[in-house]
Amino acid sequence: MRTRTLALAAASGAALLATVALPATAENAARAVGAPTRTDEGSVSAAELLAKVKNCSQISSGKYRTDSETTATVPVCGKNGAVFWKADLDVDCDGQTTSACSRATDPWFQGDTAFHQSNDKPLNAEKLPYVVVPSSSSIWNYSSAGIRDGGVVAVVYNDKVEYAVVGDIGPSRIIGEASYATAKALGMNPDPCVGGAASGVTYILFKNSQVKPIESHSAAVSLGHELARRFIANN
């Protein structure tokens, strides 16, 4: 069952130090309007990333549900330079109205996202790979952990790696949701009603990273390459 995402305003947290940011060039920004075409987007393989997240050092105070009717089984885990979790993938279609994402295609559709493009429009779930983080609660506070809007996420499914950005905020006790574009790039059915994956998805969020502009997928891929290599070297 798909979980409804809450399009909340971004919570303000303590100042984040040593932020890694990669401004996009004009060419990158232009490329960002197209859908991602690669399913394994870097020199670091899915197997290499998964080898570094076999064991969980839990940093959350509790665990999350993957859907409203399931039990809480998913912890947020800590590594050098990143946090990660292993869950399902519910398809988020929220943001700009498109042919694939609208009230006609998604009964839970909301026309806004917590974080916006550089022109202040909501994100485009059909075109932009993004991940949803749980809103801050007693379980875990994403901003205190160094996770921010536009932060880079390596989403791993089967043998595929897709770089996405932190683009929306969801319910405080549910985890495991990403945009239509993320699901499609990973080879899943991206339909917001019946698509996604029931399990087997790993989300690796790189601390203190930020893509500018947030809507540039090519910038997320470029920065993701660098951060993934650093993650492998430091863990």
CA atoms within 13 A on the CB side of 69: 2
How does residue 43 score in pLDDT terms, banded at 50, 70 and 90?
Answer: confident
Q: Residue 55: exposed, middle, or buried by beta-carbon count in 10 A (0-12, 13-18, 19+)?
A: exposed
Mean pLDDT to the nearest integer, 13-24: 39
Q: In the predicted model, is pLDDT for residue 13 greater than 90?
A: no
CA 218 from centroid of its chain's CA atoms:
15
pTM of the model: 0.86
Q: For 4-13, 109-118, 165-174, 200-209, which range has the lowest pLDDT when averaged over its residues? A: 4-13
CA atoms within 13 A on the CB side of 138: 1
Mean pLDDT to the nearest integer, 31-54: 71
Query: How far apart, in whole angstroms, are the C-alpha atoms of residue 184 and residue 89?
Result: 11
Mean pLDDT to the nearest integer, 60-73: 96
**pLDDT for 12:** 34
Query: How far apart, in whole angstroms, are the C-alpha atoms of residue 125 and residue 180?
Result: 5
**pLDDT for 7:** 41
Q: In the predicted model, is pLDDT for residue 10 greater than 80?
A: no
Closest CA to 217 of 143, 148, 169, 167: 167
Give the model confidence (pLDDT) of 110-135 as tens digits.
999 999 999 999 999 999 999 999 99
Give the model confidence (pLDDT) of 131-173 as tens digits.
999 999 999 999 999 999 999 999 999 999 999 999 999 999 9
Q: Report CA Rg, the chain.
A: 16
Mean pLDDT to the nearest integer, 83-99: 98
**pLDDT for 40:** 56
CB-CB contact of 196 with 143 (8 Å): no
